[in-house]
Amino acid sequence: MFNLDRDQDTICSVATASGLGGISVIRISGNQSVGLIKKLCKFLPSKMESHQVYYGFLHDENHNKVDEVLVTFFEHGRSFTFEDTVEVSYHGSPIISSQILKLLTFFGARMSQRGEFTYRAFINGRIDLSQAESVLSLIESQSQNASRLSLRQLEGNLSKVYLNLEDKLTDVLANLEANIDYAAEDIIIMSGSKLISQLQDIISRVKILLDTYKTGSIISDGFQVALVGQPNVGKSSLMNCFVSKDKSIVTPISGTTRDIVDESIMLNGFKFHFFDTAGICSTDNVVEQIGVNRALDKAKTVNIVTFILDHNFDFSIFDHFNFSDFKSTDFLVLFNKVDLCLLNDSGKLEMENKVKEIFSLNNISSNSLSYYWISALEEKNLQNIFAYFESKSHINFTENSATLMQLRHFELLSATNIYLEKGLSLIKSDSSPEFIALELQTALVQIKEILGKEFNDDVMDRVFSNFCLGK
């Protein structure tokens, strides 16, 4: 995606959202940015001062006025990219945007790639890779909690934790390497028990950080809630009740929903993303089977699986699920259509106990299971479900604490933990120091990859490909 030759180019792009607006901003970064903008804005002084705003008219190559603009200059070392950077504010017309970009490229600039401004901030040492990822998280944040956590990461809160882990693991490796170097003289720089103690401390810190990922992903992406059940049990009706709009088609015809329908709402400062899925059943219909497979797959990826039963109480729905696929998942069972239910309290209790037994047989803790009797048609007892969702948002979250939000970090830190555990096991079994060092060195590489101290093109593509062009 990026290469050293192109890193020397002066790049430009619209930094504001596309479409009409009061103003738009074009960002230019690189060694030639000042020279380029002076060719379009003759009113600029011979020596521009950093962080100063200049007013005047921008002209094309034939000296025709294009627009009335404000030009802001940021000198290298004091800009986001750590390069000479110019931002041009103009009236928010796509036509004017196109004109200015064409002029900039005509005079030698290049249109930026996705995330290239942030990439340059990273490659020039202003931020590490973890902080670069937080820029995108901050842009895409959809709640106050998410934006605050992203900002803390951008400030380096999480990076400090990784650097501390890197430092501690480097110390352990240094002592281990010294033991290897002085083995012939029977000199031990650090005892095995001391190495074990230090390594256990590092592993403990890594596991504490890994445990924050569930919370971090919820803060970042919200709660994912799948509505599953057999055809015509009321999934789509409930979906519409939850999101307060006619999002899903509701008919008496079985199998109306074939694909996944999704919609989000905000509750207690958190996003709840609902997925209405196809009715799960055994079928020979190819299209219907695709819908069933997608429903089953979606259920494996969410935070809350909501099973919906109607007054017929067909518990065979649970036979379609392999509960070992669910990790850290909460389960909500909704007995829908109570307006048609003929059971008394004793009968309802019997149904609840049957559900408990099914989940118990599948090794699902009762702490992960909740159930309610409702009517989507009459919107009866729905307030209990909203109270349940709101209770889930009362998660333990300290704004100033280090919290994992990115999957890339979680994957690399999980690998780090595996290599550390292997190294610890080798120390305890009195294995050769060379083998121990190999495991710990590999663990250290994972942490360096998180920070961007070691990376390859695939890592760069993965991190920056989702950025917009102007960031």
Q: Is residue 165 located within the same domain as residue 102?
A: no
Q: Tell me which residue range forms the domain holding 86.
A: 4-128
Consecutive H or E run containing 8: none
We report the CATH number of the domain holding residue 67 as 3.30.1360.120
Q: Is residue 237 located within the same domain as residue 386?
A: yes
Contact 302, 222 (CB under 8 A): no
Contact 54, 48 (CB under 8 A): yes
Q: Residue 395: name the closest of 181, 196, 146 by CA.
A: 146
Per DSSP, the three-state class of 88 is strand
- Choose one of 392, 414, 431: the last residue of a domain: 392
Q: Is residue 340 located within the same domain as residue 442?
A: no
Q: Is residue 258 located within the same domain as residue 378?
A: yes
| Residue 467 located in a structural domain | no
| Residue 466 located in a structural domain | no
We report the CATH number of the domain holding residue 298 as 3.40.50.300
Q: Is residue 124 located within the same domain as residue 145?
A: no
Q: Is residue 372 located within the same domain as residue 229?
A: yes
We report the CATH number of the domain holding residue 206 as 1.20.120.430
Q: Is residue 103 located within the same domain as residue 150?
A: no
Q: Is residue 155 located within the same domain as residue 105?
A: no
CA dihedral for 295, 251, 390, 407, sign (positive or negative): positive
| Residue 243 located in a structural domain | yes
- Per-residue 3-state assignment (H helix, E strand, C coil) for 14-70: ECCCCCCEEEEEEEEECCCHHHHHHHHCCCCCCCCCCCEEEEEEEECCCCCEEEEEE
CA distances from 234 to 230, 290, 312, 376, 398 (A): 9, 20, 12, 7, 38
Residue 431, token pair as written in the block = 């294995």
Tens digits of pLDDT across the chain (471 residues): 555 556 789 999 999 988 888 999 999 999 999 999 999 999 999 999 999 999 999 999 999 999 999 999 999 999 999 999 999 999 999 999 999 999 999 999 999 998 899 999 999 999 999 998 888 888 878 777 788 888 888 888 899 999 999 999 998 888 887 766 544 444 454 566 788 899 999 999 999 999 989 888 888 888 999 999 999 999 999 999 998 888 877 777 766 677 889 999 988 878 899 999 988 888 888 888 888 899 999 999 899 999 999 999 999 999 999 888 887 789 999 999 998 988 899 999 999 999 999 999 988 888 889 999 999 988 899 999 999 998 888 776 666 678 888 889 999 999 999 999 999 999 898 888 888 889 999 999 999 999 988 877 776 776 777 777 667
Q: Which residues pair with 23 in a beta bridge?
A: 91
CA distances from 364 to 53, 319, 331 (A): 62, 14, 9
| Residue 30 located in a structural domain | yes
Q: Is residue 410 located within the same domain as residue 316?
A: no
Q: Residue 129: name the closest of 413, 415, 448, 442 by CA.
A: 448
Q: Can you list the alpha helix ranges (DSSP code H) found in 269-428?
A: 286-299, 345-361, 382-392, 407-428
Per DSSP, the three-state class of 261 is strand
**Confidence (pLDDT) at 269:** 79
Count of domains observed in the chain? 3
Q: Is residue 384 located within the same domain as residue 258?
A: yes
The residue with tokens 């900039």 is 104
**Confidence (pLDDT) at 256:** 66
| Residue 327 located in a structural domain | yes
Q: Is residue 382 located within the same domain as residue 423?
A: no
Contact 248, 236 (CB under 8 A): yes
pTM: 0.76
- Choose one of 102, 128, 154: the last residue of a domain: 128
| Residue 289 located in a structural domain | yes
Q: Is residue 230 located within the same domain as residue 318?
A: yes
Residue 49, token pair as written in the block = 């001062």
CA distances from 147 to 62, 216, 219, 423, 436 (A): 45, 12, 9, 38, 41
Q: Which residues pair with 247 in a beta bridge?
A: none
**Confidence (pLDDT) at 207:** 95
Contact 130, 450 (CB under 8 A): yes
Q: Residue 325: name the closest of 301, 308, 350 by CA.
A: 301
Q: Residue 368 CA to chain centroid, in angstroms?
A: 24
Angle CA 362–365–371, to nearest 5:
95
Q: How far apart are CA 337 and CA 312, in angstroms?
A: 9
**Confidence (pLDDT) at 3:** 58
Q: How many CB atoms lie within 10 A of CB 438?
A: 15
| Residue 111 located in a structural domain | yes
| Residue 40 located in a structural domain | yes
**Confidence (pLDDT) at 187:** 44
Q: What is the DSSP letter of 279?
A: P
